Amino acid sequence: MPTDDPRERIVAARLRLRQRFLAEMERTPARSDPRPLGSGPPNRHGMPRIPVGQTPTAPGKWPVLDLGHTPSVPLEQWHLDIAGECERPCRLDWAAFRALESVEDVSDFHCVTGWSKLDVRWAGVRLSTAIALAEPTEHARFVAFTAYDDYTTNLPMEEALKDDVLLVHSAEGAPLAREHGGPVRVITPQLYAWKGAKWIRRIELSRVDRPGFWERNGYSNTAHPWRNDRYS
């Protein structure tokens, strides 16, 4: 169905890629992992340097992928809410966010559409630091993310708390560019990049899993690049 809505166009294009992928997996079953939830190597410590089906971006290149709307959030108006299953729900403004311990890390960025940006130098606050601040209750098992463009995604707590999952404010030594999710975005180096919300606005802890935008539109809920775990 032809449409002028960029979101609908992007979803339709992505679903065509999904069809292509599923057909490819039928033709060459050896490329698919029969146990996408199995115990494959979780990250780059194991050999192949890049997951199956991924191509590295040219040095210095970083494609922009989103739903076609780039929110503009001035720092004075920016805030991040942490809410849900926690003792101390909070709203961080820019000063409060930047007062949290910031770390640097180098990790890879895998987009499900087939490109990977390797060895990105990030700086940001560990998501685990921000979640700890809100004091999750024992019932908090999942995390739901909402962005300033109303994008949503979700993680189980055990993925969210990994040390390399960051609330990024800088990349390659410069403040995170707006088109890449500035002022602050999430990165999930061990999962496909759609699990990391650009322009993060709200982090909600919950007892139940709440599939986000792409998880409801044909992408895998688990999203492990090393297991070729792309689509549902």
Ligand X SMILES: Nc1nc2c(c(=O)[nH]1)N[C@H]1C(S)=C(S)[C@@H](COP(=O)(O)O)O[C@H]1N2
**Interface contacts to Mo ion, rule CB under 5 A:** 65, 111-112, 194
CA gap 76, 9 in Å, rounded? 33
Binding mask 133-162 for ligand X (x = CB under 6 A): --------------x-x-x-----------
Q: Does 21 participate in binding ligand X (rule CB under 6 A)?
A: no
Q: Residue 88 or residue 172: which is nearer to ligand X going by CB?
A: 172
Per DSSP bridges, beta strands 115-126 and 55-56 are parallel
Q: Residue 25 or residue 111: which is nearer to ligand X going by CB?
A: 111
Which one of residues 67, 123, 130, 155 is an interface residue with ligand X (CB under 6 A)?
67
Bridge partners for 105 per DSSP: 122
Look-up: residue for tokens 């770390």?
Answer: 103
Contacted by 219, from Mo ion, ligand X, none: CB < 5 to 8 Å by type:
none
Cis peptide before 183, with omega less than 30 degrees from 0? yes
Give the residue from 108, 100, 18 showing the smallest Cα distance to 55.
Answer: 108
Contacted by 149, from ligand X, Mo ion, none: CB < 5 to 8 Å by type:
ligand X
For the bound state, the minimum distance from the C-beta of residue 182 to ligand X, rounded and expressed in Å, comes to 10
Look-up: residue for tokens 């739903």?
Answer: 67
Contacted by 118, from Mo ion, ligand X, none: CB < 5 to 8 Å by type:
none
**Contacts made by residues 196-200, CB under 8 angstroms, sequence distance 24+:** 196/153, 196/165, 197/145, 197/146, 197/147, 197/151, 197/152, 197/153, 198/66, 198/147, 198/149, 198/151, 199/71, 199/73, 199/147, 199/148, 199/149, 199/151, 200/80, 200/145, 200/146, 200/147, 200/148, 200/167
Choose the stretch contacting ligand X; rule: CB under 6 A; options: 23-31, 33-41, 136-144, 194-202: 194-202
Contacted by 130, from Mo ion, ligand X, none: CB < 5 to 8 Å by type:
none
Q: Does 125 participate in binding ligand X (rule CB under 6 A)?
A: no
- Report residue 201 as tokens: 């606005």
Which one of residues 162, 198, 202, 224 is an interface residue with ligand X (CB under 6 A)?
198
Give the footprint of ligand X on this chain (CB under 6 A). 62-67, 111, 147, 149, 151, 180-181, 193-194, 196-199
